[in-house]
Structure formats: C-alpha cells, structure tokens
C-alpha cells in the first residue's frame, strides 16, 4: 500500500518518555457484563500493571522503541508489584516515584465475550501531590514525550519542556477532570482525543464536526479523534481536509488498552519521523491487533506483526471525511 518503510529505522531505538498512570489491574473475563446487583462468576483472571501511560510505554517497547515511564505508586505491596511488572516488560522505571502515605492505584475490570468492559478504578489523589521539576535539557535525551491526563501538573511541565527542547509533545486527550484538557492542550504539539472526550469538549456527537471544532480551539496542534470500530479522524494541516481511516477488521476479544496501544504506536512513529498517514495506519493496526487478545496491554503486538498485517490491509488508506456518512 505504501513505498514508505514501516520497519524500525537504523540506529539506536527511538526513546519516548511516557508520563501518567500506573495501575495494578485485576481483569476478570465473563460471558456478559452485569445488568444489576448479584454475583457474577468469571472464567478467566489476570493481574497486570498497566494504565494509559504504562500501556503506551509497553506498546513502544513491543514495537521496537525504548520507553521510560514517569509515574507514581504508593510505598506498598501493590506499588512494588506495579514497578516490578513494568520493569520486567522492558520499560525503564528508574524515575518512578514511591509516595509515603498514599495508596497505589488499583482497578477491577470485567471484560465480556464481545470485548467490552466495565472498569472500577481507584486513584489516591495523594499520589500526584509531588511534582518534580522538568527541564528542556532533561527532555532533550528523548525523541518524543507522551503524557496522559492522570497527573496533570507533571504532564504540563513535561509538555512545556518538550516544546522548549523542540521535541514532539503528545497528549492522550482522554476524558479528564474539569479544565484538565484545556490546561494541557496549549502546550501539546499533537493531541489524540478519545471519542467521549472529543464529544464532551466540542459539544457535539458529530465526529467530523468535532474534529473541526477542536482544530479551531487548538489550532497550533495536530488534532485527531479515535472512535473505536468507526476508525480514526484527523485534521490534515497541509490540505485543510479532515481525513478518515477505517478501523482494521478483527475478531474482538478485549478492547482494554487498545487506545493506549494506539497512543504508544503513534508516539513512536512520530519519534521515528513517519508521515502522518503512515503514522495513523501503523497506530490503527497496532490497536486493532491488540483487540484480538485477552489481557489488556499484554496483547500489544510486535513490530513484525503490525508490518505483516499492514501489507494485507486493503482498506488501509484514508479518505476525506466529507465523503463518508457516519452514524451518530
């Protein structure tokens, strides 16, 4: 489909700094999600350290990049488990913080046979009271930064330092507390919104309209919206068009962390200098392949798996969004 190589570029692996959530998740696989009170019996269970930034970091490692994580855990057994689990996965965790008097983030997640999930998370606000200084010189050691919305003060400092260092400053624009996106977005060079966050900020469920409105709101940045099975849309700055890329068709087993895998793949592709069209194809396929596997971020594909799947993806070319009818 393209003459541009998606293989890992020569030289050292590109380094991406990820900032934000680190959570100990307990995943239960169930036939159907509960509709009310009662007892539900899972038929599979997994405990894994993940979270938006953590899962994105793992995707980067799986795709041939080098990922460092700045996150915070409590000085407790769950925190030790989170750091050990992420470290064993190839993520650099040496700058993770252990916070006395705070509890590590945990969540319980039910995933049904259609791949949909119900998430019950617990975040201790005290985890993120401490905010370290961040300098442009420190960030210059990385090829890109990716922040989520879970640690806004540190995310903002990191984005500002990245812009000062001339590095891509990427924001995972998921649903967040009041004013968080508005605080972080002006410092970002690239913003990838989830569909719910885009609808909330733009005030419309129309995907194409929301991309246009968000671009006008944050005109300095690359703007994209990911919409699950509907695919992804973005504002193409050179042409002024809104582009749409259909999602690859896969048998969905588990959608947990698919968006995070997309963001990790996107950040690595940007760090490697891929054009936006190829970056979106690469990220979309990585997220889709993850959905075939139960286990949250553990289903992140390898670089070879993504490249092989892209060679066979006949629909992997974007179109003008104005040419397509979307269901609201």
pLDDT at residue 6, rounded to an integer: 79
Going by C-alpha positions, the residue among 207, 202, 201, 197 that lies closest to residue 229 is 207
Question: What pLDDT, in 10s, does the model give residues 111-158?
Answer: 999 888 999 999 999 999 989 999 999 999 999 999 999 999 999 999
pLDDT at residue 314, rounded to an integer: 67
The strand order across the sheet containing 117-122 reads 44-50, 23-29, 105-111, 117-122
Angle between the N-to-C axes of helices 258-271 and 276-290, in degrees from 0 to 180, rounded to the nearest 10 = 150
Question: What pLDDT, in 10s, does the model give residues 65-86?
Answer: 999 999 999 999 999 999 999 9
Averaged confidence pLDDT in the chain = 94
Distance, CA of 114 to chain centre: 21
pLDDT at residue 315, rounded to an integer: 60
Give the 3-state secondary structure of residue 100: coil
pLDDT at residue 4, rounded to an integer: 61
Least confident of 35-39, 66-70, 232-236, 304-308: 35-39
pLDDT reading at 313 higher than 90: no
**Nearest-angstrom CA–CA distance, 241 and 243:** 6
Question: What pLDDT, in 10s, does the model give residues 25-41?
Answer: 999 999 999 988 989 99
């Amino acid at each position: 489909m393209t003459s541009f190589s998606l293989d890992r570029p020569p030289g050292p692996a590109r380094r991406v700094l990820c900032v934000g959530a680190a959570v100990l998740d307990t995943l239960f696989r169930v036939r159907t999600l509960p509709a009310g009170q009662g007892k539900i019996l899972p038929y599979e269970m997994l405990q894994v350290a993940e979270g938006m930034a953590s899962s994105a970091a793992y995707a980067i490692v799986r795709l041939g990049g080098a990922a460092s994580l700045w996150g915070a855990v409590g000085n407790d057994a769950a925190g030790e488990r989170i750091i050990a689990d992420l470290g064993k996965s190839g993520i650099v965790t040496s700058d993770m913080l252990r916070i006395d008097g705070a509890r590590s983030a945990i969540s319980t997640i039910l995933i049904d046979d259609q791949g949909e999930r119900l998430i019950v998370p617990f975040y201790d606000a005290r985890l993120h009271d401490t905010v370290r200084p961040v300098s442009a010189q420190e960030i210059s050691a990385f090829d890109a930064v990716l922040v989520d919305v879970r640690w806004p003060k540190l995310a903002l400092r990191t984005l500002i330092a990245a812009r000062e260092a001339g590095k891509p400053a990427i924001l995972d624009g998921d649903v967040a507390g009041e004013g968080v996106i508005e605080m972080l977005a002006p410092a970002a060079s690239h913003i990838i919104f989830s569909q719910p966050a885009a609808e909330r900020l733009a005030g419309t469920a129309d995907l194409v309209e929301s991309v246009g409105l968000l671009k006008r709101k944050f005109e300095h940045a690359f703007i994209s919206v990911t919409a699950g099975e509907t695919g992804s849309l973005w504002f193409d700055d050179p042409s002024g068009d809104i582009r749409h890329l259909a999602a690859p068709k896969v048998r969905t087993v588990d959608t947990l962390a698919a968006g995070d895998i997309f963001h990790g793949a996107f950040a690595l592709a940007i760090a490697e200098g891929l054009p936006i069209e190829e970056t979106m194809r690469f990220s979309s396929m990585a997220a889709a392949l993850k959905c075939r596997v139960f286990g949250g971020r553990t289903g992140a594909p390898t670089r070879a798996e993504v490249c092989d799947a892209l060679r066979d993806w006949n629909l992997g070319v974007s179109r003008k969004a104005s040419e397509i009818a979307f269901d609201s």
